[in-house]
Structure 1
Amino acid sequence: MKKLILLLAGICMTFQATAQKKNFTYKFYGFVRGDLFYNTRANMAPVDGNFYLYPLDKKPDADGKDLNAGPNGSFYTFTSRLGVDVTGPNIGTARSSAKIEVDFGGFSSSTTMLRIRQAYVALDWEKSQVLIGQTWHPLFGSVCPDILNLSTGAPFQPFNREPQIRYQYKAGKVKLTASALWQLQYLSSGPNGMSEEYIKNSCVPEFYVGADYASADGWLAGGGVHLISLKPRTSSLWNEKTYKVNERMTTLSYEAHVKYTGRNFAFAAKSLMASCLDHTALIGGYGISSINPDNGEQEYTPFRHSTSWVNFTYGTKWKGHFFAGYTKNLGTTDALASATKYGMGLDIDQVFSTNIAFSYNLPHWQIGVEYMPTTAWYGDTDRASGKVVNTHSVTNHRILGLVMYYF
């Protein structure tokens, strides 16, 4: 850790020494963040429990006692962040810029480690922009919840940063977006677990097209369409023989969003018809719809999920936050030919969560507390429809304390 601190200090001193270069400007930013949390049961919560999603199903022991019913909690600061924005020089009529942003949320076997959050270059003209590099997925977009939890509304709000080529065009109050994206840190599921190989072997990136309308009185509204095309396997082991296969799973998702920002009050909402968006921290995935009896080649069918959330905030110095999210499994397009499924939360019929938080905000400071009950209904998958039946519910109560210092 001492070596890392010395490295970051050296980088900062280097930038300061060169920041006076003609036509360049540098702006450092970041925060120190501490999260203290408590849960009443075990949860699906990556990043060592800090990125909270939903409660895990009951797991009975030999006496029928639920192994997942025990409480847990901890305190972490590894989501503290450091970034630098660079502008200039101009290239023709285009303004050039770049961003590098890191935190300590990458994990080794025993400790946290530095990871890239965002790293991109951009060219801006009067009405258009081209961005190349890693930044927020367009499904995360310009409308996201204002809450304290690190998951920022997941698994109801998409959460993902990916390498991409993005083009945006502004025509008056309308902004159009088109993106081609590749996976790196947030990965789709498949036969070999979570891996980038499915989209790498596909040779087809994710695509997104969308539009936003921003009014002068604080309203923002828009929507978009997302395409993903995966190759789950390139070979099949069938009847003790290996065959080369040509498999592909392609599907579309749709989203709509709205936001209002007033002087002391803000409202935001988003709704998705989501399909195979488990790599964006949403519940989803796909199953097997048919198997070729000659060589074991498989066809796939996506699970469809309806996902929506609303968020209200009031106040500035003292701020109240309210969030509610709901996800429903709508089943698969085709019947399932196998019990094998790839994705996250596919044995869940529905999830409902609320979030009540209060924060105290000063220049460079935020201190807050949050209460978040979440209920998930687990059950059995009906292979004819892909829906979850014979459900039972489990509930987790999460309490979070947050301290942040911005710079």
Structure 2
Amino acid sequence: MKKGNRFGILILYFIFQLSFLQLNAQGLSELKQHFKLTGFIKSNYWLDSRKVEGSREDLFLYYPKKPQLDINGDDINSGLNSNYSAINTRLTLTITGPDVLNAKVTGLIESDYTGVTNADVNGLRLRHAYIHLKWANDELMLGQYWHPMFVPEVFPEVLAFNTGAPFQPFIRNPLVSYKHYFGKLSLQASLIMQRDNSSDGPLGRNAIYMQEAALPNSHLQLHYKINRHIFGAAIDYKIIQPLSVTNQHVKTNKLLPSTSLMAFWKYSKDKLTLQFKSIYGQNLTEHLMLGGYAVASRDSLTGVETYTPTNHFFIWGGIHYGERYRFGLFSGFAKNFGTSKENIGVYYTKGADVDYLFRIAPSFCFHSGPLRLGSELEYTAAAFGTPDKQGRVEKTSLTSNVRLLLVAAYFFNTQ
């Protein structure tokens, strides 16, 4: 084909694309969609009494690092640490328009600058992206949103970026979620896959373990709302396949099923809010909580492995009071009950050497229009020890960290 003919075809192609975009824009304008941009600019300043297990340059705090002694017996991980960060500054675009299929339709895209991994800090990250359809007694959500175990109606009202983790789930997932209302009672059913928050395994944190199991994480949740109370309970079930081929180049399809149970409650009246949540769960690593799984057995010839999940109990509660001046207190506790079966000492887990963990965090926040100024003191302690053959941690000693957190946030809303 001659050069001139190629250039002419290219021009025609761009004219066609421009015409298509113009027609498409005209069609969208007839829909009378409404776009609203909201969000906040947030600055965090913190000081730790020792080194911590954390992520995003330690803005996200899990618990203190265990003592590590040098040749003189001094703890390498002791000593003050501090940092500043504004990476959880947030942008949210909400789109509304005419009813579709007799449902109110909302679209939402939300991002911040925390990145997808620790290596990507300051990178733009997709938090939420979903389509929400609401009928009189039904709701359908398609896209990426909080995992149902987060429970947007009942989660810790803290200033820290960790939002109560590792006592509270902190995870977003691609999902399909359906909810039906029976008056004051509602039932939610969800099918969930993994993306940024994924299970641990031989390849590190990776969504491929659930992909190769070929079954989505399934979740059922009940809500009961009466007067100023919210009561809820849920069951969560997932299956992963940690390996598809062994180091001996033998195909394997051994699966690991895990089940978690959850109950929660919230009471709110005027300036007062009370909240509570408890979870007994298996393999909750991707929720940024303690736990995971271990290798139960390994064939010495083929390398084929079987697996056993960890079992943990989590409970947290919070009380907050005030409006312009708001005071709060959060407390959480986690306990390691080991693995369901004996294991060979190979763990894919967070906190395999932690027997129990607790946190107490008082806070104060000043509200003035779009401006928020706050301070929070987090005391987090972990009992480190040595896991036995069934993952139960023995010979423990307590290590603690105190974090002083100062926060400034400016909210905006353009309609």
TM-score, normalized by the shorter chain, greater than 0.5: yes
Distance 1:178 1:303 in 2: 25
CA-to-aligned-CA distance 1:109-151 (integer Å, 9 cap, x gap): 4751111100011221111111110011100012101111111
Q: Which amino acid aligns with 2:112?
A: D
Contact 1:372–1:398 (CA<8 Å) still a contact in 2?
yes
Contact 1:33–1:402 (CA<8 Å) still a contact in 2?
yes
Equivalent in 228, 242, 259 of residue 249 of structure 2: 242
Provide structure 1 residue ranges, at least 5 long, that are not aligned to the other structure: 1-16
Distance 2:141 2:134 in 1: 9
Q: Which amino acid aligns with 2:216?
A: P
The reply on whether 1:388 has 2:393 as its aligned counterpart is yes
Equivalent in 101, 105, 110 of residue 92 of structure 1: 101
Equivalent in 294, 298, 312 of residue 291 of structure 1: 298
The residue number in structure 2 matching 1:160 is 171
Equivalent in 210, 228, 236 of residue 221 of structure 2: 210
Q: Which amino acid aligns with 1:90?
A: D
Q: 1:19 to 1:395 in 2, by over 3 A?
A: farther
Give how far 1:72 is off.
Answer: 0.9
Q: 1:37 to 1:270 in 2, by over 3 A?
A: same
What's the RMSD between the two structures over aligned residues? Answer: 1.6
Q: Which amino acid aligns with 2:139?
A: Q
Contact 1:213–1:222 (CA<8 Å) still a contact in 2?
yes
The residue number in structure 2 matching 1:370 is 376
Give how far 1:19 is off.
Answer: 9.4
Provide structure 2 residue ranges, at least 5 long, that are not aligned to the other structure: 1-25
Distance 1:20 1:403 in 2: 38
Equivalent in 44, 47, 50 of residue 53 of structure 2: 44
The residue number in structure 2 matching 1:147 is 158
The residue number in structure 2 matching 1:230 is 240
Q: 1:29 to 1:38 in 2, by over 3 A?
A: same
User: SS at 1:113's partner residue?
Assistant: coil
In the TM superposition, 1:8-87 aligns within 5 A as 21-87=30-96
Contact 1:271–1:307 (CA<8 Å) still a contact in 2?
yes
Divergent runs of 4+, >4 A: 17-21, 107-111
Mean Cα displacement is larger for which, 105-114 or 389-398? 105-114
Equivalent in 354, 360, 374 of residue 366 of structure 2: 360
Q: Which amino acid aligns with 2:209?
A: Y
Q: Which amino acid aligns with 1:223?
A: A
Distance 1:206 1:392 in 2: 36
Give how far 1:71 is off.
Answer: 1.6
User: SS at 1:279's partner residue?
Assistant: helix
Q: Which amino acid aligns with 2:146?
A: W
Q: Which amino acid aligns with 1:32?
A: I
The residue number in structure 1 matching 2:16 is none
Distance 2:27 2:161 in 1: 35
Distance 1:108 1:194 in 2: 12
Contact 2:64–2:401 (CA<8 Å) still a contact in 1?
yes
Distance 2:98 2:199 in 1: 38
User: SS at 1:63's partner residue?
Assistant: coil
Contact 1:19–1:26 (CA<8 Å) still a contact in 2?
no
Q: 1:244 to 1:110 in 2, by over 3 A?
A: closer
User: SS at 2:87's partner residue?
Assistant: coil
The residue number in structure 1 matching 2:262 is 255
User: SS at 1:224's partner residue?
Assistant: strand
CA-to-aligned-CA distance 1:5-54 (integer Å, 9 cap, x gap): xxxxxxxxxxxx99965431222110000000010111111111111111
Distance 1:19 1:49 in 2: 44
In the TM superposition, 1:167-186 aligns within 5 A as 167-186=178-197
Contact 2:114–2:121 (CA<8 Å) still a contact in 1?
no
Q: What TM-score, normalized to structure 2?
A: 0.90
Equivalent in 113, 137, 147 of residue 147 of structure 2: 137
Equivalent in 394, 397, 400 of residue 402 of structure 2: 397
Equivalent residues, number? 385
